[in-house]
Amino acid sequence: MKALVQRRYGSAAFGDLDVPVPGSGEVLLEVRAAGVDMGTWHVLTGKPYLMRILGFGFRGPKTPRPGRDVAGVVTRIGPGVTEFAVGDEVFGTCEGAFAEYAVAPVSRLARKPAGLSFTEAAAVPISGGTALQGLREVQAGQRVLVLGAGGGVGSFGVQIAKAKGAHVTGVCSTRKVELVRSLGADEVFDYTKADFTGTYDLILDCGGNRPLSRLRKASTPRGTVVLVGAETDGSLTGGLERALRAVALNPFVSQKLVMLMSTERADIFDELRVLIEAGSVKPAVERTFPLPEALEAIEHVYSRRSLGKVVVTI
Instruction: Tell me the closest approach of the beta carbon of residue 1 to ligand NAP, in angstroms.
Output: 27
Q: How far is the CB of 246 from ligand NAP (least distance, A)?
A: 12
Q: For residues 195-224, which are near ligand NAP according to CB under 6 A?
A: 206-208
20 vs 154, beta carbon nearer ligand NAP:
154
x-marked contacts with ligand NAP along 295-314 as a string, rule CB under 6 A? ------x--x-x--------
Q: What are the start-end ranges of the E strands in 148-217?
A: 167-172, 187-190, 200-205
Q: How far is the CB of 193 from ligand NAP (least distance, A)?
A: 12
Closest distance of CB 98 from ligand NAP, Å: 17
Q: Please state, in angstroms and rounded to a whole number, the distance separating the CA atoms of residues 194 and 189.
A: 7
- Is 229 near ligand NAP (CB under 6 A)? yes
In angstroms, what is the minimal distance from the CB of 137 to ligand NAP? 16
C-alpha span between 110 and 100 (Å, rounded): 19
CB of 73 to ligand NAP, least distance (A): 26
What is the Cα–Cα distance from 177 to 186, expressed in whole angstroms? 12
By CB under 6 A, name the one of 33, 110, 172, 295 that touches ligand NAP. Answer: 172
**Region from 18-26, 58-66, 89-97, 171-179 binding ligand NAP, contact rule CB under 6 A:** 171-179
Count CB neighbours of 56 within 10 A: 16
3-state secondary structure of 280: coil
Q: In the complex, what is the shortest distance from the CB of residue 306 to ligand NAP, in angstroms, rounded to a whole number? A: 6
The b/e string for 111-142 (b: 16+ C-beta within 10 A; e otherwise) is bbbeebbbbbbbbbbbbbbbbbbbbeebeeeb
Region of 71-79, 212-220, 227-235, 244-252 interacting with ligand NAP (CB under 6 A): 227-235
Residues 124-163, mask of contacts with ligand NAP (x by CB under 6 A)? --xx--x----------------xx-xxxxx---------
Q: Which residues pair with 290 in a beta bridge?
A: 313
- Candidate residues 4, 28, 34, 37; the one interacting with ligand NAP per rule CB under 6 A: 37
Among 261, 267, 279, 303, binds ligand NAP (CB under 6 A): 261
Do residues 268 and 132 make contact, with C-beta atoms less than 8 angstroms apart? yes
Q: Which residues contact 161 (CB under 8 A, 6 or more apart)?
A: 135, 138, 144, 146, 168, 202, 204
171 binds ligand NAP (CB under 6 A): yes
Cβ neighbours of residue 271 closer than 8 Å, sequence gap 6 or more: 132
Which among 65, 46, 53, 56 is positioned nearest to 7, based on CA atoms? 65
The span from the CA of 166 to the CA of 141, in Å, is 5
Burial tier of 75 (Cβ tally within 10 Å: 0-12, 13-18, 19+): middle
80 vs 178, which CB is nearer to ligand NAP?
Answer: 178
Contact residues toward ligand NAP (CB under 6 A) are 37-39, 42, 126-127, 130, 147-148, 150-154, 171-173, 176, 191, 206-208, 228-231, 239, 260-262, 301, 304, 306
